Structure 1
């Protein structure tokens, strides 16, 4: 008799300190809302050269992308009063070391939502996933993202031609 694979770990919803703002797993059920958010933010997402795949996304690409099992990585939609306004990921690059990426729709930038969304995810990573490090790459010129990472405790560690790598140590 064949053994069945272990059940996929449930990805918990994560509350934030901002009323009405929460993280919930981003799945294929969110494809239409995610495509609409991408479609309305193509210029915003690609202005610095980042997120080219998302900037060129079709509805079919979104459906396929969200149908792909993220494995040990976490893919969260940032939701404000239930509306999808952005995304934050925790990428299992080499656990207990993780990478992160995030973006908000342009209308939601500068309101503290990215900080409020990232903080509980990184706390969850430390407490439940036993993550020791989180890395992020920021394209040169993205001052808002640099400021966010510094507020979250990240420090720049390496300069590359097009971006700076930041590091957050989760061990005290």
Structure 2
């Protein structure tokens, strides 16, 4: 694929460890499905005091967000049997350092989908984008999200008033593994 690093990412459909769970770029074509997902999860999204703005989105706001090209960040829909059940983002905060954000439909939690989706996107970030570090913030009280990050190998980096920042280094130092 020719072109500079400024080209928009063309993310293939990413497979995950769950055979029926895939990731694809979330675009304006999915605005109706995305808005329906937000609409039925307003209470779920704000249960820990976060995602207030997203939960307050009307259709125009949700659609406008999807029209906005997040490049070089990746905004992905999490699909289960081709139905949109959530979102996972790899945010180009300061490449090769990235932020990770994710949320799932209330009905889709507790099945390992968030872990599988995040793992697939982190691997893509490491291998294709050259990401060396990924950070994520979790609002205090969101134990399920803490557990996802722990399963993915993240460690607590800093604790703030309302949230905990997690970090995972993606590139091991050469001497990390015995020869």
Give the TM-score range, shorter chain. over 0.9
In structure 1, the residue matched to 2:166 is 166
Equivalents in 1 of 2:8, 2:92: separation in Å?
A: 15
TM-aligned CA deviation for residue 170 of structure 1: 0.1
Cα gap change, 1:7/1:154 in structure 2, threshold over 3 Å: closer, same or farther?
closer
Counterpart of 2:176 in structure 1 is none
**How far apart in 1 are the matches of 2:164 and 2:17?**
29
- 1:77-110 deviations in Å (ceiling 9; x for gaps): 0000110000000000000000010000000000
Gaps of 5+ in 2: 1-5, 173-179
TM-score by length of 1: 0.95
How do 1:56-75 and structure 2 match up within 5 A? 56-75=56-75
CA RMSD of aligned residues (A): 0.9
SS in 1 for 2:9: coil
Contact kept? 2:8, 2:72, Cα under 8 Å: no
Provide the residue aligned with 1:118 in structure 2.
118
Quote the offset at 1:54 in angstroms.
1.2
1:8: how far off? 2.4
Instruction: Please list every run of 5 or more consecutive structure 1 residues that lacks an aligned counterpart in the other structure.
Output: 1-5
Q: List, as ranges, runs of 4+ consecutive aligned residues in structure 1 with deviation greater than 3 Å.
A: none
**Structure 2 residue aligned with 1:40:** 40
Alignment partners' CA distance in 1, 2:147 and 2:9 = 33
